[in-house]
Amino acid sequence: MTINLTVMLDIARDAVHHGTRRLKTQAVQQVTAKGDRDVATDLDHTIEREILAFLAERTPDIDRFGEESGGNPTTPHRWVLDPIDGTLNLVHGLPLYGVSLALTDGIRPLLGVISLPALDRTYCAAPGIGAWCNGNPIAPSTVSGLPEAMIAIGDYGTGDDAPQRNAVAIALHTALAPVAGKVRMLGSAAVDLALVADGTLDASITLGNRDWDMAAGVAIARAAGAAVTDTDGSPHDSRSRTTIATAPGLTASVLHILATATTGTQYDRRTPC
């Protein structure tokens, strides 16, 4: 199948607009527990249903996967949707949440659109086309030293492997505390990656990788010029274990400090950062 990314990006923007309109005009009516310390709302389900129906109508030959309803992709290309990334932020009135939609080839994102309604920002990007926020070109920051960097770290993990991942997260906080400018936990991977793309944040470290959380933000950050890798520095894709997005000048330092936390060795402050 030949994919016209310009056309698909327009379709993705239109699809995400449906979710944005819901988030701006409709309040949460029902919150349901989902898994370990996670929830879904009636809005999650409504937005997912509407966006997937829109995509089915506009692109019937492309499979669709939603966080809440799942999907069984049978073709290489697929739409991947998180109807509300940062649902708990929304429920608690914290304005860091959004709709995240990507088109992927099953391994890598081909384009991404993220809408952050409470911030009145819409990000969209595709490799070779560019990256924008509200129609304006964006680029990552030029920060090259950890002491000047603001770094976001993903939420502590849940589930069976949470103790191992959280031990690494705590070690990472310990390693960053004496050397990083500021460390934040914002509660939304879509927010983290979009803010790295536009230079608001200097780096984002997520000790996990789920397509619906990451694919759109990875596409946007990468198209904007940020480095997006796995822990070992290899290019990020759906098979990566972690999602590391950095301003280009910070990549080596962030990967070094993450490797230090992962192996449990003491961080050497003499290492250039």
pLDDT tens-place string over residues 187-230: 999 999 999 999 999 999 999 999 999 999 999 999 999 999 99
> Confidence band (pLDDT; 50, 70, 90) for 69?
confident
Are 54 and 88 part of one and the same domain?
yes
- The CA distance from 21 to 249, in Å, is 37
Q: What is the pTM of this model?
A: 0.93
Identify the H or E element spanning 122. Answer: strand 121-126
Q: What pLDDT does residue 266 have? A: 40
Among 83, 110, 137, the domain boundary falls at 137
Task: Identify the weakest region by mean pLDDT among 54-63, 129-138, 242-251, 254-263.
Answer: 254-263
- The CA distance from 115 to 196, in Å, is 15
Q: How many domains does the chain have?
A: 2
| Main-chain dihedrals φ then ψ at residue 5, nearest 5 degrees | -65, -35
Among 88, 107, 137, the domain boundary falls at 137
Are 164 and 102 part of one and the same domain?
no
Are 195 and 109 part of one and the same domain?
no
Q: Structure tokens of 61?
A: 């030959």
Structural domain contains residue 273: no
Structural domain contains residue 269: no
The residues, any chain, with a CB within 8 Å of residue 148's CB and separated by 6 or more, are 181, 202
